[in-house]
Structure formats: C-alpha cells, structure tokens
Amino acid sequence: MDFNDTEEQALFRAKAKSWLAANAQAKRQGLMAGNQEGRYQQAVDWYHKRYDAGFSCLTWPKEYGGQGLSQMYQVIWNQEVSHYGEPDEYFVIGIGNCGPALMTFASEEQKQTLLPRMARADDIWCQLFSEPGAGSDVAGLSTKAEKTGNEWKINGQKIWTSGAQYSRYGVILTRTDPEVSKYRGLTMFMIDLKQAGVEVKPIKQIDGGSHFNEVFFNDAVIPDNYRLGEVNEGWGAALMVLMNERLANATAAPDGFEDFLNWAKASDIDGVAATQDPIVRDKLATWYAQHAGVEATTFRMITAVAKGGVPGAEGSLGKLVGASMNQDIANFVIQQLDAGGQLTADESTPLDGHFQSAVLMAAGIRLAGGTDEIMRNIIAEQVLGLPQEPRADKGVAYKDIPSGNTGA
Amino acid sequence: MNFEFSDDQKLIQDQARQFLTEHSPLTVTRQVMDGGSAYDSHLWKSIVDLGWTATAIDEQYGGLGLGSLELCVIAQELGRSLTPIPFFSTIYLAAAVIQQHGNEQQKQSLLPGIAAGETIVCMASSEVAGQHLLQARQTQFKNGQLSGKKIAVLDGVEADYAIVSATDANKNHSLYLVNLHQAGVQRALSPSIDSSRPLASIEFNQAAAEPLGADDAASVILTQAFDRAAVFTSFEQLGGCEASMQMGIDYTKQRFAFGRSVASFQAIKHIFADMYVAVELARSNAYFAAWALSVNDEKLPLAAATARVSAIDAYYFCSKENIEVHGGMGFTWEFDCHLYYKRAQLLSSIIGSSRWWREQLVSRLLDE
C-alpha cells in the first residue's frame, strides 16, 4: 500500500497546481443558481482553455486530443481542480459516453477529426439512449432506424438527453429489428443533430432549469459510415460504453459533504457554533464516514484498473451513496435554518442558496444514469450473483413484448 | 498510488483462511459460547505455532517483526471465522502498549511469552456502564498497590496479566501492570451478550502493581492504543460482515417461496445491495486506516476513527439483516446467524462504542 505520488505524478501535480492557480477561478458559491446560458458559456470557455493548456481528456491518446496518461493522472487533476470553481465536469456525460464509443467503433479519420473537437468542446455531444417508454429498461427502446441505400432513416423520440440543446452530435441507440429479442435488434450510430429531421425541446425541471431535453426524429438521416459497430449489435456496444462511463462517474459524483462541512464551520445555530451542536456533529460523523468510504473505494477501483482490471459494476456504489447523501445533506441544512431556510436568495441564506438548489437537483441525480433501484439491482445481480426476477420479456420478440403504452 | 495489499500479504491471508476454515469451524465458537471454557486452548496453541501471535512483536523480543498490514489480514480472517481465542486483548492492545511504552524489563519479561502464546494480557479500563474508558478513574494506586474494580474486561477470566488504568494520590491517571495470579485479585465471569468471548469483572484489593508507561499518561497511551486496535478491529468486523452477508446469500438462494428462489425477490436483493455498500465503504475505510497505521501517517487518528465508525455500522447492519432474510430460522439458537449478531455487538463496544468514536471522528475532522 502506498499513497504517495510517483516522481512523474508529483511533477504533473505541480504543473496542474501552478496552471490552475494562474488560470482557474476561485470557488464561487451560487454557481448552480446562475443563469443557464451563462453557465454553458462559462463551461465552453473553460474547456477551450483547459484543452489548449493540455489538461483535457487526460486518458485519451494524444492523436485524439488527449494526453495518453493513466487514470491516476485524471484523479490527480480532479483532486486539484476541485479546489476551484470551474465547471470542469460540465460536459462529462457527452464526453464520457460518446468518447469511448467513437474510440472503439469510429473510423480512424472520424476519430482524428471528431475527438479533439469533442475534447475542446468545439462540438458538444449528447447521448441518446433513454426514451419515454424505455428508461430503466433502456433495451426496450423503440426509435426506429431503417436502411435505404447507404443511409438510415430515423423516426422516434428520445428523452432525458443532457445538453442536447447545445449539441452538434449525438450517439444514438436505435431499433433495427423488432422481430428478434429486444437485446438483439439494436444498432448504435452517431448522428449529426443539425438537420431538418431533428427537433430538440428542453424539458423544464423541478428546479426551473432545463438541463435535459426531449429529442424528436422525423425521417432524420444518418449515413451508414456513421454506424458504430455492427448492425443489430448495438446492445453490446452500449454496454461497453456504459462500462467505460462508470469509472469516470465514480470519480466525478458529488456527494455534498464538502459543502456541508463548510457550512458547519461557518454557521451558528441559535448563537452557538454549528460544529458544537450534537445533532450536527452526529451528521458530520455519519456523512464523513460515507464520504471517506466512497473516496477510498474509488482509489481501490483505480488501483484495480491500473493493474489491468476492468471497471466493474462496483462503480454503481459511488452514485448510489453520493446522490442520496447530497439530497439528505441539503435537506438537513435547510432544517437547521427554520422558516428562513425556505428562502433561496435572502442575505442570510448560506452559500448563496446552494442547499436550496441542491435539494431540488439531487432528486434528479438519484434518477439520472440509472435510478437508485436499478443500481441496487446491478449490485445484487452482477456483483453478488443473485438470481434475476422472473421476466415477462425473456425469449419474446421485441414486437410481442407487453407494453402499457401501446394504446396511448 | 497502490491501494491494495501485496501478494505476500494476500498469501498470508489465504493461508489464514484455509487454516481457520479447517480448524475453527463455528462448532468451536459454540463450545466456548456454551460455557465449556473461556477460549479454545487447542486452537490457540496451533495459532501460536503459525506465528500469528508473534507477527507484530519485534524480533529481539521473540517476535517476527512483521508490519501491521500482516496483522490486518489475519484479523479479517479471525473475524470471519469468529475464532474464540484471546487475540484481541493480548495482541491488538496489550502487546502494542507494552512494546511502545513498557520499560526494558517489562518488555523482556512479557513480550517473549506473548509471542509464544504462553502469556495472556488483558486491558482493564471500564468501571461503570455509561462512562467512557478514559473517564474511568475510581481505581486507586497507592504504595505500589492497586484497589478498585474493573468491568467488561475481555479475556479477563483467563489472563495472566492486566494493564489497568488508575489514579494516584496526586490525581495522576496512569497505567499499571498487574499480575493477576495473586491474592489481591478476584475475578468473575460476567454474563454478556456474546458469551463466545467472555468478559470478566476484576476486583483489585491492594494488589501488587507496577507503573507501565509515563506518569499521568493513561489517556494518551490508551487513545493511541485504541486507535491502533480500532484498525485491527475494523478488519475483524469486515471479516464478520462478509461472512454474515455470504450466509444470507447462500441461504436465500436455495430457499424457495411463492415458487421461486427467495434471493430473486427485489425486496431481498436490495437488502443485500445495501449490505454490499456498507461492507465496501467499511472495507475502503479500513484499508485507508491500515495504510495510515503502517506508515504512521498523520492522518491515522482520523482514519482510525472513520474505519471504526464505518465498521461498527456495517457489521450491525449485515448481521441484523442476515437474521431478517433467514426468516424465523434466523431467530433460532440452532442457526448461526446470532453468532455474528452477538460478535457485532461485542466488537462495537469493546474499545469504546459508536458514540465515543463518532465524537472522536468529528473532533479530529474539525481539528479541535
């Protein structure tokens, strides 16, 4: 066991530190509450700056816009950048999902053209998997892709698409054969979203923001050379993408603990320091133990990956623990503030309304990228090897699977 | 960064596991639980032969001089098999205190015997329920003699020596070494939740005693000793967590209800998923604390408290839910579920319970 940086890692850390000190903005609370367009523009600017300095997509090969470094360097970067207020993870869903998909399945020319632009946020990418009738059960999706000549025609609807309103491209999972079992009739593509057959409608969320979108496809066109993987082998390709995403997400999931600790250190409850309140102290113990446990679990995953292992379903743990903790922390702090805790922008509101904003956002984080319940199923079935529930869709052709939506 | 035990350490763990699977089945734990003896002396002898008692004792005192990481992986296996031997008191606590704070004569007279498994040493601090170990100061030291009563002393029934905290005429709170085989010592078995690891009450009536460690240093020495023991304990708890979770999985997989395996019900699977999460968090925190202990990092006090809090919560959760998923059979004496549940109770309290450690965690986190 050894937690020290190697000489090269220490060198990289020093380089990252000094560059960040000169170029990154200090933590500014209230970022979450800011205007969405403003935040988007700030993120694009940051991604440009970071790329030009050689700190983007560190684990990607150099020829595709990365730095060819191991996961360990990404961890070091994440640790250092976390001291600043930059939106370093803003496009993580697009890049974390679409990057590996292109890396594995796109042509060499496509990779060399598209990946560096993705890494620099010159092009924003989104992942088009979920549908109104296929969320937790995403393999049940129905958006159709039909081949005519050298092109595919796309018809259907996607939903919960992060950042689609800003996206130039997407990676889309479609149904190409409804006559076989639902897992065997899927095909993955990349798609140019700036075309007539594609319509993006932002979804207004419970927090008033619109991070997610509905995306409608009416005879949208994809050239066959945009196909990622073989026809009808899209499910395997999608799983590969999701697997790569796990480690990225495991290192990125915020659990709210740092904000809680900062609040506790800076606040009074009825004139007594919050850190001296027994109820607050009990929560500090509970949440610190979980926070430290998730962080150390990530170190264990990285060690395993560095030794040649594959990031497994264990990565579900960080999100499962962190998302709920984030929600509970926000609610707990609000409950320490009495009626004033309901105010989002009063001068007495701590951290510029961070907790009031987080208590709403966290409800969505528990759903995004797999609900808490799906995460538990993944752990139970894929890690612990417990039997699946009896299923009504096993061995049945996709078109014959019962669906409550058929009449709607 | 390399956050994993070495191949050599894993080999030690595998060997420990194989040995205990063969020689320390739960029937051995039950024999002690049913009142046959305070520990299994035959098993203790075999474990001494394997060198486990000598692992972390310096070579000049008859030990093997290995590091604390080796002891961590052994602890995990002892916890998994609920092995009823006086390892906790003698090795995790007493040996470390004597090695770090004893004078040369004390080290030479005690450590070789501990390494050879011939000397059992217990730690006697508690005096009354509801009072933390460091606050127990009623026991008096005067003119080389100790008087007072200690309770809930793990392995106190069989121990040869005790390390006792006591206060002298100047109100200095210090540690003392007491030979328990003397007229001024009376001890009795105390009924307790986990009778597979018996607790004793020990009364000292002008018992001959000698100081161990510096004057008025009891709190400092015990705090360090408990931090260190907390790391090993968290590995014992981790082993117990894994065993009780596996027991529940094995049982529910082969048990059928409503025409299907009980383990296939989502309500049951989600309990196991939550167990897994608790165990992995406890494991990661225990690993981090093990690393901090092995290099004596400045983060050790916080890491030890974090590992302890995590492990207490995880073992309680796994062992209670193991009973739950077993249904009524889990509540019977015949099934082994209660063995883990009771051991989880014992390990949660024996070096200070959850309340104290949560308080330690927070004050260390806040640097108070």
Model pLDDT for residues B209-266, shown as the tens digit of each residue = 999 999 999 999 999 999 999 999 999 999 999 999 999 999 999 999 999 999 999 9
Contacts of B284 in chain A (CB under 8 A): 292-297, 299-300
Which residues of A are less than 8 Å from B287 in CB distance?
1, 296, 300
Give the chain B residue nearest A3 (alpha carbons): B1
Contact in structure between A264 and A275 (CB atoms under 8 Å):
yes
Residues of chain B predicted below pLDDT 50 = none
Q: Domain of residue A307: give its range.
A: 253-383
Nearest CB to B361 within list A289, A385, A390: A289
Whether residues A221 and A275 share a domain: the answer is: no
- Residue of B6, B238, B288, B359 to mutate when probing chain A, most A C-beta within 10 A: B288
Task: Please answer yes or no on whether B274 and A375 come within 8 Å at the CB atom.
Answer: no
- Between positions 278 and 297 of A, the ones with CB within 8 A of B are 281-282, 284-286, 288-290, 292-297
Q: What sign does the dihedral A356-A360-A366-A370 (CA atoms) show?
A: negative
Residue A310's domain is classified under what CATH number? 1.20.140.10
Residues of B in contact with A70 (CB under 8 A): none
Nearest one of B348, B26, B24, B27 to B193, comparing CA atoms? B348
Show residues of chain B in contact with A315, CB under 8 Å: none
Q: Residues B286, B234: contact at Cβ < 8 Å?
A: yes
State the pairing for strand pair B161-167/B173-179: antiparallel
Domain ranges of chain B: 7-115, 121-215, 219-365
Fold entry, domain B219-365: Butyryl-CoA Dehydrogenase, subunit A; domain 3 (1.20.140)
Q: Are residues A308 and A261 in the same domain?
A: yes
Asked whether residue A275 is domain-assigned, the answer is yes
Q: How many domains does chain A contain in total?
A: 3
Establish if A98 belongs to a structural domain: no
Q: Quickly list DSSP for A43-105.
A: HHHHHHHHHHTT-SSTTS-GGGTS----HHHHHHHHHHHTTB---TTTTHHHHHHHHHHHHHH
Query: A373 contacts in B (CB within 8 Å)?
Result: 266, 270
Give the pLDDT score at A32. 46
CATH number for A59? 1.10.540.10
Domain boundary among A207, A236, A265: A236
In a domain, A118, yes or no: no
Residue type, A217: F
Q: Are residues A161 and A269 in the same domain?
A: no
Q: Is residue A395 part of a domain?
A: no
pLDDT at position A311, please? 67
The CATH number linked to A224 is 2.40.110.10
- B94: which 2 tokens? 């007493």
Cβ within 8 Å, pair A289-B5: no
What pLDDT, on a 0 to 100 scale, did the predictor assign at position A304? 82
CB A379 within 8 A of CB B273: yes
Q: Is residue A158 in a domain?
A: yes
Residue A52: both structure tokens together: 């030009």
Distance CA B193, CA B229 (A): 21
CA of B312: which chain A residue's CA is closest?
A289
CA–CA distance, B180 with B187 (Å, rounded to integer): 9
Minimum Cα–Cα distance from A10: chain B residue: B1
B163, containing H or E segment: strand B161-167
Q: Say yes or no: A219 and A263 in one domain.
A: no
DSSP state of B164: E
Looking at the structure, tell me whether residues A228 and A148 fall in a common domain.
yes
What residue of A is the nearest CA neighbor of B262?
A387
- Give the pLDDT of residue A251: 55
Number of CB atoms found within 10 A of residue B13's CB: 20
Same domain, A67 and A133: no
8 A C-beta contact, residue A310 and residue A299:
no
CB-based contact (8 Å) between A86 and chain B? Answer: no
Q: Between chains, do B249 and A304 touch, taking CB under 8 Å as contact?
A: no
Domain-located, residue A215: yes
Place of tokens 């009738």: A133
Q: What is the mean pLDDT of chain A?
A: 90
Interface of A with B in 341-400 (CB under 8 A): 373, 375-377, 379-381, 383-390
In A157-216, the residues whose Cβ lies within 8 Å of chain B are none
Contacts of B256 in chain A (CB under 8 A): none
Distance CA(B188)–CA(B194), nearest Å, equals 16
pLDDT digits (tens, 9 = 90+) for B67-106: 899 999 999 999 999 999 999 999 999 999 999 999 999 9
In this structure, are A231 and A323 located in the same domain? no
Task: Give contacts of B276 with chain A, Cβ < 8 Å.
Answer: 317, 379-380, 383-384
Burial annotation A307-339 (CB, 10 A radius, 16+ → b, else e): eeeebbbbbbbbbbbbbbbbbbbbebbbebbee
Superfamily of domain B7-115: Acyl-CoA dehydrogenase/oxidase, N-terminal domain (1.10.540.10)
Cβ distance B281 to A381 less than 8 Å, yes or no, reads no
Cross-strand partners of A107: none
Judge: B264–A390 Cβ closer than 8 Å, yes or no. yes
Nearest CB neighbour to B365, from listed A1, A288, A303: A288
CA distance B112 to chain A (A): 29
Residue B280: list chain A partners with CB under 8 A: 293, 297, 314, 317
Residue A33: its pLDDT value, please? Answer: 43
Partners of A306 on chain B (C-beta within 8 Å) are 2
Architecture of the domain made up of B121-215? Beta Barrel (2.40)
Residue of B nearest to A282 (CA): B358
Judge if A201 and A281 occupy the same domain: no
Residue-wise pLDDT tens for chain A (408 aa)? 887 888 999 999 999 999 999 999 987 654 444 577 888 999 999 999 999 999 999 999 999 999 999 888 988 998 899 888 898 988 988 898 899 999 999 999 999 999 999 999 999 999 999 999 998 889 999 999 999 999 999 999 999 999 999 999 999 999 999 999 999 999 999 999 999 999 999 999 998 989 899 999 999 999 999 999 999 999 999 988 777 666 665 555 678 999 999 999 999 999 999 999 999 999 999 999 999 999 898 888 888 877 877 767 767 788 899 999 999 999 999 999 999 999 999 999 998 899 999 999 999 989 888 899 999 999 999 899 999 988 888 888 999 988 875 544
Residues across chain A: 408
Interchain contact, B359 vs A1, CB within 8 Å: no
Tell me whether residues B264 and A389 touch, CB distance under 8 A: yes
